[in-house]
């Protein structure tokens, strides 16, 4: 039984918790609120009361379960090995079954399901976004702030929607002269609609390494925003759609440059589709050949070091929770950065600490999200780095908003963009010599 189907599925997980409170030491929400309900132990207790029937699922209960960035720091710090990520997913799914989905989320996830309509909306949005968003002058990024408050404040800095989506900029298959393999690229929404520069860097680096890239047109949202909020039905529909599209195109491997997307392909699709034999098999098959881009470049290719030109940047690296703890990838991005001539890697105090973005969490709890982000920004400031690298577009948005609002001159980008920059510099150097 999957965590998405029934609260009973986490009974044993709940019994593992011995209420020691060790989760308090690492929980970003608890650090801000200092309320027991903010931390895993508190929400585990609530889930226990629910299971024992002592209390019913209430709106208030659903609210409390929304207090988690799913950063999984508690999982790592738990002496008893409690998988709190499973507990929170089960509790949220239960909340949706009993209380329905928050209306804003309902609209958002429905839109994500209707790909073509969504595409159109985004395209129209890119033309009209000036109505709602005020463009901010910035050297390297197209960023903006909300002109009016729609409930999330006007402080957050957003990327502007790209004029053209990433997927419309490329043919479905990007060929190279003598391909050593064929790799499917799952772009994810943020890279497709906002951070197309990240997507382009992925394509650039892959083709530079003689890899044929397939970007299936019919791919859609990874479904993580829906699944972490308990909208299991939408998440399942999205999982099936993506599996179908990628299966149609076929590839030796699948790469993702977004930590949620990576988690979806590696773990979530199979869990969602546990009771669907046909798609479960498909999900398992693709899970076996899904890689985060950094992981793929380091272990599967491995990426070529000759041709790397000088990039003079002082870089600090932020570990996205779903890449670091979710997929166990933290050394690979650093390895890439260290291999680039001219890049100086300066570690911040707690690179693995959640930035507070957590997708829709930042929309539902904007103040908390900003408080968590402020600590991250302070850590970044301390490094004196000029660039912040990360492996997740959502983290990039949050980090960018943080440094921008703190008045820090730092460029926030995906690790892969710096690698692409290095290959470009290498070519220039070659021309000159």
Question: Considering only residues 3, 7, 32, 42, which one is a binding residue for other proteins as defined by CB under 8 A?
Answer: 42
Least distance CB 54 / other proteins (angstroms): 8
Count other Cβ atoms within 10 Å, centred on residue 305: 10
Q: How far is the CB of 55 from other proteins (least distance, A)?
A: 7
Question: Which region among 78-86, 294-302, 351-359, 394-402 touches other proteins (by CB under 8 A)?
Answer: 78-86
Closest distance of CB 216 from other proteins, Å: 43
Tallying the residues shown for the chain, one arrives at: 433
CA triple 133-355-100, angle to 5 deg: 75
Residues within window 86-125 making contact with other proteins, judged by CB under 8 A: none
Taking only Cα atoms into account, the Rg of the chain, rounded to an integer number of angstroms, comes to 21
Q: Would you count residue 29 as binding other proteins (CB under 8 A)?
A: no
Quick check: 49 binds other proteins (CB under 8 A)? yes
Buried b (16+ CB within 10 A) or exposed e, 11-25: eebbeebeeeebbbe
- Is 60 a residue that touches other proteins (CB under 8 A)? yes
Angle between helices 103-113 and 232-249 (to 10 degrees): 20
Segment (H or E) for 162: none
Q: Which of 8, 76, 80, 338 binds other proteins (CB under 8 A)?
A: 80
Is the Cβ–Cβ distance between 345 and 210 less than 8 Å? no
Q: Does 34 bind other proteins (CB under 8 A)?
A: yes
Asked if 349 touches other proteins (CB under 8 A), the answer is no
CB of 409 to other proteins, least distance (A): 29
130 is a site residue for other proteins (CB under 8 A): no
Nearest distance, CB of residue 379 and other proteins, angstroms? 15
Residue 63 binds to other proteins (criterion: CB under 8 A)? yes
Structure tokens at 214: 């397939």
Minimum distance from residue 64 beta carbon to other proteins (Å): 5
Q: List the end-to-end C-alpha distance of the chain, in Å, as a whole number.
A: 63
35 binds other proteins (CB under 8 A): yes
Span near other proteins by CB under 8 A; candidates 2-10, 53-61, 218-226, 307-315: 53-61
Kindly give the residue spans of alpha helices, DSSP state H, lying in 4-83: 11-16, 28-33, 40-52, 59-65, 73-77
CA distances from 143 to 133, 188, 347, 406, 430 (A): 9, 19, 26, 15, 34
Neighbours of 83 (CB within 10 A): 16
How do the residues of the chain divide into helix, strand and coil, expressed in percent and rounded to 5?
A: 55, 10, 35
The site for other proteins, by CB under 8 A, has a size of 28
Which among 77-85, 300-308, 376-384, 410-418 is the span making contact with other proteins, rule CB under 8 A? Answer: 77-85
46 binds other proteins (CB under 8 A): yes
Where do runs of H (alpha helix) occur along 273-391? Answer: 277-288, 293-295, 321-327, 331-339, 361-364, 366-383
Considering the complex, state which of residue 74 and residue 183 has its C-beta at the smaller distance from other proteins.
Answer: 74
- Pick from 2, 5, 6, 37 the residue near other proteins by CB under 8 A: 37
In the bound state with other proteins, the residue whose beta carbon lies nearer, of 46 and 206, is 46
Assign 272 to helix, strand or coil. Answer: helix
Cβ neighbours of residue 329 under 8 Å, at least 6 residues apart? 292, 294, 295, 323, 391
Per-residue x/- mask for other proteins, residues 4 to 23, rule CB under 8 A? -----------xx-xxxxx-
- Is beta strand 181-186 parallel, antiparallel or unpaired with respect to 211-214? parallel
Nearer residue to other proteins within complex by CB, 86 or 200: 86
Site residues for other proteins per CB under 8 A = 15-16, 18-22, 24-25, 34-37, 41-43, 45-46, 49, 55, 58, 60-61, 63-64, 79-81
């Amino acid at each position: 039984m999957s965590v998405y189907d029934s609260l009973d599925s986490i009974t044993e997980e709940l019994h593992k918790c011995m209420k020691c409170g060790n989760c308090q030491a690492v929980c970003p929400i608890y650090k801000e609120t200092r309320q027991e309900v903010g931390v895993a132990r508190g929400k585990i207790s609530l889930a226990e009361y629910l299971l024992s029937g002592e209390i019913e699922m209430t709106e208030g209960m659903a609210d409390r379960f929304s207090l988690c960035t799913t950063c999984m720091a508690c999982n790592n710090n738990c002496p008893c090995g409690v998988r709190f990520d499973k507990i929170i997913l089960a509790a949220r799914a239960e909340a949706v079954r009993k209380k329905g989905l928050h209306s804003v989320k309902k609209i958002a996830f429905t839109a994500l399901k209707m790909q073509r309509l969504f595409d159109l909306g985004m395209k129209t949005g890119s033309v009209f976004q000036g109505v709602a968003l005020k463009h901010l002058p910035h050297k390297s990024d197209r960023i903006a702030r909300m002109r009016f408050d729609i409930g999330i404040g006007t402080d957050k800095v957003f990327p502007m929607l790209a004029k053209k989506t990433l997927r419309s900029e490329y043919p479905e298959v990007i060929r190279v002269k003598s391909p050593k393999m064929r790799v499917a690229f799952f772009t994810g929404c943020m890279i497709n609609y906002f951070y197309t520069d990240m997507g382009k860097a992925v394509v650039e680096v892959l083709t530079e390494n003689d890899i044929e890239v397939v970007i299936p047109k019919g791919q859609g949202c990874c479904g993580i925003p829906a699944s972490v909020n308990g909208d299991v039905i939408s998440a399942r529909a999205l999982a099936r759609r993506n599996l179908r599209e990628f299966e149609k195109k076929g590839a030796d491997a699948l790469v993702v440059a977004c930590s949620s997307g990576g988690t979806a392909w590696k773990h979530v699709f199979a869990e969602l589709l546990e009771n669907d034999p046909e798609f479960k098999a498909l999900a398992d098959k693709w899970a076996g050949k899904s890689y985060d881009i950094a992981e793929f470049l380091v272990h599967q290719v491995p990426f070529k070091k000759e041709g790397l030109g000088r990039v003079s940047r002082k870089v600090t690296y932020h570990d996205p929770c779903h890449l670091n703890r979710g997929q166990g990838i933290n050394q690979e991005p650093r390895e890439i950065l260290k291999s680039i001539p001219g890049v100086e890697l300066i570690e911040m105090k707690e690179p693995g600490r959640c930035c507070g973005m957590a997708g829709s969490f930042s929309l539902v709890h904007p103040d908390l999200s900003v408080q968590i982000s402020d600590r991250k920004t302070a850590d970044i400031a301390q490094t004196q780095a000029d660039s912040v690298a990360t492996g997740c577009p959502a983290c990039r948005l949050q980090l960018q908003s943080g440094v921008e609002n703190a008045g820090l001159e730092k460029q926030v980008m995906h690790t892969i963009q710096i690698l692409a920059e290095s290959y470009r510099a290498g070519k220039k150097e070659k021309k000159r010599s």
